[in-house]
């Protein structure tokens, strides 16, 4: 039986472990914390308030995500957003404006000026440049849609997705679908009218404009908890991997090489083996055929990899991750003037608010507040735009949020519930030059057969992206063994 070690029990590592187990692998997941899920964690207070620590939703962007939910018998616990949450707001000139839901609405929206709308109408006639440099998202949007479209809708969107800066993010790596629309159709607007990105016939990808979002009755933590239960004792918690030794007849580890006899337990047709040394005193050193690092990129230096691997992986740990604060507040419904009839609001940097945006979490899904007379709002701060705010005291941050909500949604009362999480290194930034990190990761795998990397710093930052990538990686590992 093939033995596969997975370092990291986030959604990427857990999904991969489940899929490999289904293919007959003997898997072991080493998780440093006391519970599964990584950034996916849900808090429920005794009096009925709910708060997510990290992501709030999953985009059902492929049939594989549906299959994962079905494999775990979670269909009956899946929740789709309330129809009342179909609006999305962007702040313009200090007030919330609904994002246009159709091309016709785009012509009448107060979100953009008349000149900006004319610029959008000219987009199909703009030629694609001949040079193939790694263009920033900001330059791409200026070129195709104009400066005003960048300053309001796009800057707001980037703050909501990446907590990032469009002047630094690579359009090719951070928003590859935009780059593909231009590449395949020569125009974003014509590409959408022609059905979007052309996909291979065998693809089960669901177009983003048709993909639904969902959560579960008790929050997103339902998913990693269910995978962990299915894996059983294949997952070990409070088990931090401190050292990796590569066994090939000469054993290399912790920055030095010394002669050693081959591992007598090693099958003759599997020349590459990995020995895991954990900080858990009850966890003996174990040997594996495959090794998957599914932790964070900034966690790579905490593991003593073999020197040849460490040299390649160390630069990957330098992928920027700005700090982000998630602050969930609970209020009486009567203390808020706005109908909260939407997904939430995003705020462009040009508006000058100290927050990135707010989700109307109790509008999205039921059971996020004690009853219909109360609401929960989740607000995000910091990111690349204002990283210094993330380091301020919680009370000061709460005051900033309250001040912003008073201006934007007519908040009058004080919160009845508060839950704050600081992610000091939150979301990986796919900035220009990101290709060098991908090349290093590919080289690390190519030069060290049996070693693989998985995580949101490589294949996309959303939960759906990491699940889809886990399916891809499980298939690749199985094919590598077969060949």
What is residue 74's DSSP assignment? -
Query: Tokens 């706005």, residue?
Result: 338
Please report the pLDDT score of residue 264 as a whole number. 37
Could you tell me which CATH class the domain 86-111+322-426 is placed in?
alpha beta
Q: Is the dihedral of CA 366, 363, 343, 87 positive or negative?
A: positive
**pLDDT tier, 249 (very low <50, low <70, confident <90, very high otherwise):** low
Tokens standing for 269?
């047709």
Tokens standing for 423?
């992610």
Phi, psi of 123 (to 5 degrees): -55, -45
C-alpha distances in angstroms, 157 versus 115, 214, 346, 347? Answer: 21, 19, 7, 8
User: Rounded distance, CA 86 to CA 73, Å?
Assistant: 28
Q: CB of 353 within 8 A of CB of 347?
A: yes
* 114-211 carries CATH number 1.10.3110.10: yes
Query: Tokens 């629309």, residue?
Result: 181
- 297: how many CB neighbours lie within 10 A of its CB? 24
- pLDDT exceeds cutoff 70 at 267: no
Q: What's the rounded mean pLDDT across residues 392-402?
A: 98
Residues belonging to the chain? 483
> pTM value?
0.92
Lowest mean pLDDT, pick from 14-23, 200-209, 353-362, 399-408: 200-209
Counting residues of the chain whose pLDDT is more than 70, the rounded percentage is 95
User: Rounded distance, CA 376 to CA 34, Å?
Assistant: 27
Query: Tokens 């580890």, residue?
Result: 253
Q: What's the rounded mean pLDDT across residues 67-91?
A: 94
Please report the pLDDT score of residue 252 as a whole number. 41
Q: Where are the alpha helices (DSSP H) in 294-360?
A: 307-313
Please report the pLDDT score of residue 380 as a whole number. 98
Please report the pLDDT score of residue 83 as a whole number. 86
Mean pLDDT in the chain? 92
Domain 3-39+220-318+431-482 CATH (choose: 3.40.50.300, 3.50.50.60, 3.40.190.10, 3.30.9.10): 3.50.50.60
Q: Would you list the domain boundaries of the chain?
A: 3-39+220-318+431-482, 86-111+322-426, 114-211
CA quadruple 124, 126, 129, 132: dihedral, nearest 10: -30
Please report the pLDDT score of residue 272 as a whole number. 59
Q: What's the rounded mean pLDDT across residues 212-225?
A: 97
Angle, in degrees to the nearest 10, between helices 63-71 and 11-22: 70
| Of 445, 427, 318, 353, the residue nearest 383 (C-alpha) | 427
Q: What is the largest CA-CA distance in the chain?
A: 75
């Amino acid at each position: 039986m093939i033995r596969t070690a997975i370092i990291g029990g986030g959604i990427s590592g857990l999904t991969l472990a489940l899929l490999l187990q289904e293919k007959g692998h003997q898997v072991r997941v080493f998780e440093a914390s006391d519970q599964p899920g990584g950034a996916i964690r849900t808090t429920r207070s005794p009096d009925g308030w709910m708060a997510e620590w990290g992501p709030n939703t999953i985009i059902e962007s492929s049939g594989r995500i549906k299959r994962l939910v079905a494999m775990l018998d979670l269909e009956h616990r899946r929740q789709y957003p309330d129809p009342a949450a179909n609006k999305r707001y962007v702040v313009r000139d200090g007030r919330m404006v609904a994002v246009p839901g159709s091309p016709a609405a785009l012509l009448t929206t107060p979100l953009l000026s008349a000149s900006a709308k004319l610029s959008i109408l000219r987009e199909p006639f703009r030629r694609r440049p001949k040079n193939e440099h790694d263009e920033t998202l900001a330059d791409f949007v200026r070129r195709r849609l104009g400066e005003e479209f960048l300053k309001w809708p796009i800057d707001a969107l980037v703050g909501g997705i990446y907590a990032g800066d469009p002047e630094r993010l690579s359009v090719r790596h951070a928003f590859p679908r935009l780059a593909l629309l231009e590449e395949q159709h020569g125009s974003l607007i014509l590409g959408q009218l022609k059905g979007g990105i052309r996909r291979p016939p065998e693809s089960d990808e669901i177009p983003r404009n048709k993909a639904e979002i969902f959560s579960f009755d008790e929050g997103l933590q339902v998913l990693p908890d269910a995978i962990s239960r299915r894996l059983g004792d294949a997952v070990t918690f409070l088990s931090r991997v401190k050292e990796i030794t590569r066994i090939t007849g000469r054993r290399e580890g912790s920055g030095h090489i010394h002669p050693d006899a081959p591992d007598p337990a090693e099958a003759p047709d599997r020349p590459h083996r990995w020995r895991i040394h954990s900080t858990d005193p009850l966890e003996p050193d174990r040997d594996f055929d495959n090794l998957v690092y599914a932790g964070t990129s900034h966690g790579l230096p905490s593991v003593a990899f073999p020197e040849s691997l460490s040299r390649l992986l160390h630069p990957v740990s330098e992928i920027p991750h700005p700090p982000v604060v998630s602050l969930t507040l609970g209020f009486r419904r009567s203390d808020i003037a706005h109908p909260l009839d939407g997904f939430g609001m995003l705020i462009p940097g040009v508006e000058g608010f100290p927050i990135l945006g707010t989700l109307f979490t109790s509008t999205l899904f039921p059971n996020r507040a004690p009853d219909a007379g109360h609401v929960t709002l989740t607000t995000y701060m910091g990111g690349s735009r204002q990283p210094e705010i993330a380091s301020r005291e919680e009370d000061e941050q709460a005051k900033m949020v309250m001040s912003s909500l008073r201006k934007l949604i007519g908040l009058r009362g004080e919160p009845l519930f508060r839950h704050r999480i600081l992610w000091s290194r939150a979301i990986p930034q796919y900035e220009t030059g990101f290709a060098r990190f991908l090349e290093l990761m590919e080289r690390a795998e190519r030069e060290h057969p049996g070693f693989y990397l998985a995580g949101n710093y490589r294949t996309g930052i959303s939960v759906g992206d990491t699940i889809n990538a886990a399916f891809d990686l499980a298939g690749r590992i199985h094919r590598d063994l077969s060949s």
